[in-house]
Amino acid sequence: MNSVNREWAFDFGPGQPMKGYIGVSPQLRYDEEVGYGFEGNGQVNGRSRRQQELSVGETHHAEEHLIHSFCIPIGVNFVVKVPDGTYRVIAQMGDLLADTLTVLKAGESKAVLPPIPTIAGQFRTVMFTVPVRGGKLVLRFSGAAPRINVLNVSSAEETLTIFLAGDSTVTDQPSIGYPNAGWGQMLPQLFKHDVVVDNHAESGRSSRSFIDEGRLESILEKMKAEDFLFIQFGHNDEKSDIPRGTEPFTTYKQYLKLYIDAARDQQARPVLVTPVHRRYFNEDGTLSDTHGDYIIAMKELAMEEDVPLIDLAAESKLLYEAAGIEGSKDYFMWSYPGEYMNHSGGVEDNTHFQERGALRLAELVIEGIIKLDLQPLRMYVR
């Protein structure tokens, strides 16, 4: 492990690792002093497809170990102790003899890649970039038939970053609430490794409380010239409590302008996102607008300040109405008792999304990026 250059190379599975790689056996549990290993309540198995393992020091065809040997991590995390920053992750997975399907997330729940399938004998190399806070890179493995053969991790501080400021409809929801998800949680998988999504959105926050709690300041400490700041607030600005509530055409616009000015002071690029709609229908099957003047006010501000605007309110309205009163439940946290173990009593939530809905909204954000021709983001869409 090279802590000076912030580069790590791991070779997973039984047997001797390839020269220059750190060996990771299925039994290796995370230890603070060692600085890497598996943790969690799932299970890790390992296999080697070589008929005869290399002996210690043997180098002939040593690279075959990268393919022949692998770990099968199910519902566990692989953790690497790293300094906070931005990291490029390159993973290789596959199996000579079996079809595989691996789901890889960062942290508790950040969807950094679409599910990764391979057929027997096929090996895929995938790449993504992820922010690390708290001194640990956490990669969570699951899927119907997961594999991990090789993992390379390196510092990537100059990567173009999209910072997200928003509320519970945007945030990375904790895994304990699965399948609850914010659209910002699903957004990273829709970009190539050239873009990192750093999601600072937090449940219950308004344009006002987000700033008052120092969350915008935390973003500014990391922001570089040419980065992006996507701003979606409204749900909690509508609340009547003093710490969060704002008025559409006065304080709401004033607080939003603070984000715009702060990003521009850093030579970064602000983008306003109208608040995604709640799922409330009128008797005639049309969606009821619960945001009202907040949407109008944000659009006015976008015009006044010449800021790009993604109208997620309008697009989500079309999405829900197309799905209908019953079909739109599939996007939200609606479930029957026993359907999800984390919500054993069932849920009827018309504000928060399950992963399917959050992904669809993230796709609508991507469509907005393409429509506005926000370069170079458009160029880096998967």
DSSP secondary structure string for all residues of 325-352 = HHHGGGGEEEE-TTSSGGGTT-EEEEEE
Catalytic status, residue 240 = no
Q: Of 190, 194, 82, give the one whose Cα is nearest residue 129.
A: 194
Helix (H) or strand (E) holding 64: helix 64-68
Instruction: List the alpha helices (DSSP H) in 159-292.
Output: 183-186, 207-212, 215-222, 253-265
**What is the number of residues in the chain?**
382
Catalytic status, residue 367 = no
Compute the distance between CA of residue 76 and CA of residue 142 in angstroms, rounded to an integer: 7
Q: Name the catalytic one among 200, 238, 352, 355.
A: 352
DSSP secondary structure string for all residues of 243-264 = TT---IIIIIHHHHHHHHHHHH
Catalytic status, residue 352 = yes
Q: Name the catalytic one among 109, 168, 207, 328.
A: 168
Compute the distance between CA of residue 377 and CA of residue 382 in angstroms, rounded to an integer: 10
- Residues annotated as part of the active site: 168, 348, 352
